[in-house]
Amino acid sequence: MPDIAPLALLVAGLEAPDRYDQADAARLLGELGRGEAVGALRRYVTESRYYSKMAGFHALARIGDAAVCPTLRGLVDKPNVVDDWFWLDCRAVRAAAALALLALGDESRAGYLAELADAGDDVFFCFFGPTVLRLPDNLPAARDLKARITVGAMADPAARGVRHTDPARVALKAEVFGLLATPEACEALRDLVAFHSRYVRGQAAVSLLSADPSEEHVRLVEAMGDGDPADFARVRASYALAAAGRGDRIALIVEAAEALDDPFDRAVAVECLGLLEDETHAGVVERQASHADPYVRQCAVEALDRLGAASAAAVARKRLGDDSLRVRLQAAKLLAALDGKEGR
């Protein structure tokens, strides 16, 4: 175990050689919500030239220190990343900064988000659609932006076709529909339950039952949980059912977490067990913390954190010596949260 405090390990992660390790450190610092990290996160979003730094904006929003607003305003205007005008990542960075400002109560750059909405941009409607809808309603600009996201706007046939064909965008669209939770949104989700991508089907099942766990919808998702050809979709459907109160469906997730060969699918099952916050299955999750695949291990440590399992701290301390920095960071977040709770 390295001789470094968990919070310091996370902060140091912002300067890791790999840009996605940096972003994960930022994400975890945001989840931790500790004000001591604000300075390092401010430096990260200012100095990093990687698009993945948008995780840092979200982290700053979660921590909630409005003193960073001047920095964020500057980065909406000049994000210090390459302008990939032919793609979307630069716009996503600017949007992330503008959304962080809104979350911190600063409406001054909401106009940029409105511009994206006016342009029918997938950055606004798909990649940040769920984030926009989760904004608090206390600011007029936030309310206006949220009102822009409707089933009709999402289905806009004039929007770029890829909003309706790219599984990455469609999965986020399904998340948006779940948050809208209107009858029209549920109708759209019922269609997406049959989408060709298992990842979209899985998200559609979760969104549908979170929006309206009616008998009809439960039957639809049950059919996916029982008969979908893809493990991923069956796991996510089972999770959706379990989250809607069907405890009998957890068994499939437990089995998947212990037995699936595909590491990603197994990791998703482990993640679902954490999200269900049922400590009964902490032993299953704990065993996955020593799986050969680092993403499975990372999800296991994260799930133990969510479960508040008695064994979590011991597992996390062991994982501070993991080969994978991502796993070490996840473990550090768990331990840093415990440190915070214990007032140290």
DSSP state for residue 173 in the 8-state scheme: H
Nearer to other proteins, 74 or 130 (CB): 130
Dihedral sign for Cα atoms in the order 194, 199, 205, 211: negative
Burial letters 235-271, b for 16+ CB under 10 A, else e: bbbbbbbbbbebeebbebbbebbbebeebebbbbbbb
CB of 57 to other proteins, least distance (A): 9
DSSP state for residue 105 in the 8-state scheme: T
Q: Interacting stretch for other proteins, rule CB under 8 A, among 76-84, 105-113, 141-149, 151-159?
A: 76-84
Q: Enumerate residues 6+ apart whose C-beta is below 8 A from 71.
A: 42, 45, 46
- Side chain identity at 312, as an amino acid letter? A
**Helix 54-63 and helix 89-103: axis angle, to 10°?**
0
Structure tokens at 75: 């980065």
**Contacts of other proteins in 299-338 (CB under 8 A):** none
**Contacts of other proteins in 84-103 (CB under 8 A):** 84, 86-89, 92-93, 96
Choose which of 10, 27, 117, 220 interacts with other proteins (CB under 8 A): 27
Structure tokens at 134: 């989760």
Nearer to other proteins, 162 or 251 (CB): 162
Nearer to other proteins, 17 or 343 (CB): 17
Structure tokens at 163: 């909003």
| Alpha-carbon gap, residue 56 to 252, rounded angstroms | 36
CB of 344 to other proteins, least distance (A): 27
Nearer to other proteins, 166 or 279 (CB): 166
Q: Enumerate residues 6+ apart whose C-beta is below 8 A from 171.
A: 197, 199, 200, 203
Choose which of 77, 83, 216, 248 interacts with other proteins (CB under 8 A): 83
| Alpha-carbon gap, residue 53 to 306, rounded angstroms | 25
**Contacts of other proteins in 123-182 (CB under 8 A):** 127-128, 130-131, 161-162, 165-172, 175
**Contacts of other proteins in 262-301 (CB under 8 A):** 264, 267-268, 271, 294-295
CB of 318 to other proteins, least distance (A): 21
CB of 134 to other proteins, least distance (A): 8
Q: Contact 45/14 with Cβ under 8 angstroms?
A: no
Nearer to other proteins, 19 or 317 (CB): 19
Nearer to other proteins, 160 or 283 (CB): 160
The burial class, CB within 10 Å (0-12 / 13-18 / 19+), for 152 is exposed
Q: Is 203 in the site for other proteins (CB under 8 A)?
A: yes
Site string for other proteins, 37-56 (x = CB under 8 A): ------------xxxx-xx-
Q: Give residues in contact with other proteins (CB under 8 A).
A: 19-20, 23-24, 27, 49-52, 54-55, 58, 81-84, 86-89, 92-93, 96, 127-128, 130-131, 161-162, 165-172, 175, 196-200, 202-203, 232, 264, 267-268, 271, 294-295
